[in-house]
Amino acid sequence: MLKKLFPREEIGIDLGTANTLIYKKGTGIVLNEPTMITIHRADNRVIAIGKEAADMMGKTADPIEIIRPMRDGVIAQYKLTGIMLKGFIQAVIGRRARLQTIIISIPVGCTDIETMAVKRTLEEIAPNKVHSISQPLAAAIGGGINIKQPVGRMVIDVGGGTTQIAIISALGVVISKTMKVGGDALTDAIARFVKHTHKVAIGEKIAEEIKFNIGNVHKDIKLENYQVNGLNLITGKPIVLELTA
C-alpha cells in the first residue's frame, strides 16, 4: 500500500549543453527540454526552466535574464544547473514519489569540482543516492560496449551544442576532447541551405524535422522526399517545398 502511495523511482539524467533528458526506469524518457533557466536580475529569483524559459527568448523585459548554465560542454554556472535539475526532477516524479537512485551523465569537460557541486545539489532531494558517470562512458554502455575491457575504444558523442570525442579503456576515459559543434549546427546548416538554394525561409523546428526525417550520409540508403512549409522570400507568401535527402 505504501509503495503505491509513495513509489520509489530510479531515474537517469543526461545533462547536455543544449538539452537535458530524464529517463525513468520502467517508463522511458519522460523529459526532454532545453538546458535553460530564466532569472530575475534584481534578486536572482528563478522564473522559468526548460522549454518555458526557451519560449521567453526575445519576449522578456530588461530585468529578466535567460541563461544557459552549460557552455561549450562545461558547467558554467553550477548553482543554476542544480536548481534547474531539481525543477526537472520534481516535474517528472511528483511530490509523493521517493527517489531510490539518480544516475547523472556529466560532460567529459567538466571538472571534479563542478561535478561534485551538481551531485551535492541533487543529494538535497536524494541523500546518498546520486551517482555520476562520464557521458562518453554512458554512451559506450548504451551502444553495447563492454567498458570493463582493457582495450582502447573511441567514442564520439554528438550532442546538441557540443561533440565529445574520447578514448575509453578499463572503466575510464584515457583522453578526450570537446568540440564546440553539434546537432544544432546541422539544423542551422539545413535552414541556411534551404534559404540560399530555394529562397525559402524555414524555422528551427522545421529544419530539425528535416534533419531527423531525411538527414542521411549513406549513399546506399534511399529515403522518400519530404515536404515542408516555409515562406517564399521572393513573393512573401507561404509555400510547400519538397526536399530530397
The per-residue pLDDT string of the chain (245 residues; one tens digit each, 9 = 90 and over) reads 444 544 578 899 998 888 899 999 889 999 999 999 999 887 888 899 999 988 887 666 678 888 888 877 778 888 888 889 989 998 888 766 677 889 999 888 888 888 888 888 888 877 778 899 999 999 999 999 999 999 999 999 988 888 999 999 999 999 999 888 888 899 999 999 999 999 999 988 899 899 999 988 887 888 889 999 999 999 999 999 999 88
Output the pTM of the full model. Answer: 0.75
Residue boundaries of the structural domains of the chain: 2-144, 197-243
**CATH number for the segment(s) 2-144:** 3.30.420.40
Cα 78 to Cα 86: distance, rounded to the nearest angstrom: 12
Question: 234 CB contacts (<8 Å, ≥6 apart)?
Answer: 199
